[in-house]
A = this chain, B = another copy of it.
Amino acid sequence: MNATSSHPIRTLAIVGVGLIGGSLGLALKRAGAVGRVIGVGRSPANLDTARSRGAIDEIQPDLRRAVSDADVIVLATPVNTIAALFGALAPALTDDKIITDVGSVKAGVCAAASAALGARISRFVPGHPIAGKEKSGIAAAAADLFENHKVILTPSDATDPQSCLTIKKMWQTIGAEVKSMTVSEHDRVLSITSHLPHVLSYVMMDFLATSPEREHCYQMAAGGFYDFTRTASSDPEMWRDISIMNKRHLLEHIAKFKRQLNNVAAMIDADDETAIEDLYASARRARALVTEKRKLES
Q: Which residues of B contact A231 (CB under 8 A)?
A: 224, 227-228
Complex Cα spacing A262 to B179, Å: 34
Q: Which residues of B contact A118 (CB under 8 A)?
A: none
Nearest 10 CB-CB pairs, A to B? A236-B280, A209-B286, A205-B283, A236-B281, A227-B227, A202-B283, A240-B277, A197-B228, A189-B216, A206-B283
Residues of chain A having any CB pair with chain B under 8 Å: 130-132, 149-150, 152, 179, 181, 185, 188-190, 192-194, 196-211, 213, 216-222, 224-234, 236-237, 239-240, 243-244, 247, 250-251, 253-258, 260-262, 264-265, 268-269, 271, 273, 276-277, 279-291, 293-294
Q: Do the beta carbons of A236 and B197 come within 8 Å of each other?
A: no
Complex Cα spacing A62 to B247, Å: 60
Given contacts A228-B227, A256-B207, A290-B221, contact A251 B280 (CB under 8 A): no
The binding surface of chain A is classed by DSSP as: helix
Given contacts A243-B276, A286-B206, contact A150 B220 (CB under 8 A): yes
16 A–B contacts from the bound complex (CB under 8 Å):
A185-B213, A188-B213, A189-B216, A193-B225, A205-B286, A206-B279, A210-B260, A226-B294, A227-B227, A228-B228, A233-B291, A236-B281, A236-B284, A240-B277, A243-B276, A258-B262
Minimum distance in angstroms from A115 CB to a CB of chain B: 20
Q: Do the beta carbons of A265 and B251 come within 8 Å of each other?
A: yes
